[in-house]
C-alpha cells in the first residue's frame, strides 16, 4: 500500500472518530453543572463507611479490586524497566570507590536538599497514614517518600544514597506490599464475605482508627509504591554511575 492510500484510509478513520467524539461530547452534561449522580452516591457510601476521604474510599473500599490491578501494573512496569536496563555482555559493573564521584553541586542546592529531606519524609509518612482522613493516600505518600530519599542524590551525594537504600531490601518490600494488599483482601474471605470486603470495625468518623481496612490497605500500597519507585530510580541511577562499557578505564 503506497503512502497516499495509507493517508486516505487514515483520513476516513479519523473523520469517523471525530464525528463520534463530537456527538458524544454534545451528550455530556455541561462543565460545572450541579448534576453528579455518581458523586452523590459515592459520597453517601463513603460517609456510611466512616471514611472522610471519598477518593480513598473509592480507591480502596468501593472499587478496591481496581487498585489490585493498578498495583500489579506498577510492579510490571518496574520489572520491564529492570529487564531493559540489565547489564549486557559487553558491559560490566564498576562498584569501586575510585569510580568518578558525582559532580560538585552548589552549596545552596546541597543545603536545601539536606534540609528538605526530613521534612519531605515526614510529609510522605503523614500522607500515607492519614490517607483515609485527608487528601492523600497510599500512592501519593509512597511517591513522596521515595522522592525524599532521592533528595540525597539531588544534594550531590550519590554515595550516601547508595548506602542508605539497599536495593534487595526494597525489592523485597515491594513484593511484601503487594502481597499484603492481596492478603488483606483474602482475609475478608476467611470471615465469610467477598474478596476485599471491609470487614474490620469502622470506628468513629475522622479519627485515625476509622474506615476499617482502608488504613491498612493504604499502608500496604504506600510501602509497595515507595519500593517500586526506589527500585526503578536505582536502575536508572546505576546506568549513569555504575555500569561501564567494556574498554573504559
Partner 1 sequence: MSLLLDLAFLLVAAAGTSVVLNRDAIGQALALAVFGLTFTVLALVLQAPDVALSMLVVGSAIVPMLVLLAIASGRKQSPEDTP
Q: How far is the CB of 17 from partner 1 (least distance, A)?
A: 22
Q: Which of 52, 67, 128, 137 binds partner 1 (CB under 8 A)?
A: 137
- Residue 64 to residues 10, 11, 51, 104, 159, Cα–Cα distance (Å): 39, 41, 14, 46, 39
Q: How far is the CB of 221 from partner 1 (least distance, A)?
A: 13
d(CA 25, CA 236): 41
Q: Which of 139, 211, 215, 222 binds partner 1 (CB under 8 A)?
A: 139
- Cα-Cα-Cα-Cα dihedral sign, residues 207, 209, 211, 214: positive
Q: Which of 52, 53, 67, 210 binds partner 1 (CB under 8 A)?
A: 53
Q: How many residues bind partner 1 (CB under 8 A)?
A: 22
Grid coordinates of 54: 471519598
> At how many degrees (to 10) do helices 167-190 and 214-241 cross?
160
Rule CB under 8 A: is residue 144 a binding residue for partner 1?
yes
Of 1-9, 21-29, 201-209, 228-236, which segment contacts partner 1 by CB under 8 A?
228-236
CA 126 remoteness from chain centre? 16
Please list every residue from 150 through 209 that binds partner 1, using CB under 8 A.
150
What is the SS3 assignment for 244?
strand
What binding mask, one character per residue, do residues 79-118 give for partner 1 by CB under 8 A, x or -? ----------------------------------------
Rule CB under 8 A: is residue 233 a binding residue for partner 1?
yes
Amino acid at each position: 500500500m503506497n503512502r497516499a492510500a495509507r493517508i486516505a484510509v487514515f483520513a476516513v478513520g479519523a473523520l469517523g472518530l471525530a464525528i463520534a467524539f463530537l456527538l458524544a461530547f454534545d451528550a455530556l452534561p455541561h462543565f460545572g453543572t450541579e448534576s453528579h449522580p455518581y458523586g452523590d452516591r459515592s459520597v453517601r457510601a463513603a460517609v456510611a463507611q466512616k471514611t472522610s476521604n471519598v477518593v480513598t474510599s473509592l480507591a480502596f473500599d468501593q472499587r478496591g479490586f481496581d487498585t489490585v490491578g493498578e498495583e500489579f501494573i506498577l510492579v510490571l512496569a518496574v520489572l520491564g524497566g529492570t529487564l531493559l536496563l540489565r547489564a549486557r555482555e559487553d558491559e560490566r559493573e564498576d562498584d569501586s570507590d575510585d569510580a568518578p564521584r558525582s559532580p560538585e553541586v552548589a552549596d545552596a542546592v546541597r543545603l536545601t536538599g539536606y534540609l528538605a529531606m526530613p521534612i519531605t519524609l515526614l510529609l510522605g509518612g503523614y500522607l500515607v497514614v492519614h490517607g483515609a482522613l485527608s487528601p492523600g493516600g497510599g500512592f501519593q505518600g509512597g511517591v513522596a517518600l521515595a522522592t525524599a530519599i532521592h533528595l540525597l542524590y539531588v544534594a550531590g551525594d550519590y554515595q550516601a544514597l547508595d548506602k542508605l537504600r539497599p536495593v534487595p531490601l526494597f525489592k523485597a518490600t515491594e513484593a511484601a506490599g503487594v502481597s499484603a494488599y492481596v492478603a488483606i483482601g483474602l482475609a475478608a474471605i476467611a470471615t465469610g464475605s467477598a474478596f476485599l470486603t471491609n470487614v474490620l470495625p469502622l470506628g468513629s468518623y475522622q479519627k485515625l482508627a476509622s474506615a476499617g481496612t482502608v488504613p491498612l490497605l493504604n499502608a500496604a500500597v504506600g510501602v509497595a509504591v515507595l519500593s517500586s519507585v526506589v527500585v526503578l530510580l536505582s536502575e536508572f541511577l546505576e546506568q549513569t554511575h555504575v555500569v561501564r562499557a567494556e574498554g573504559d578505564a
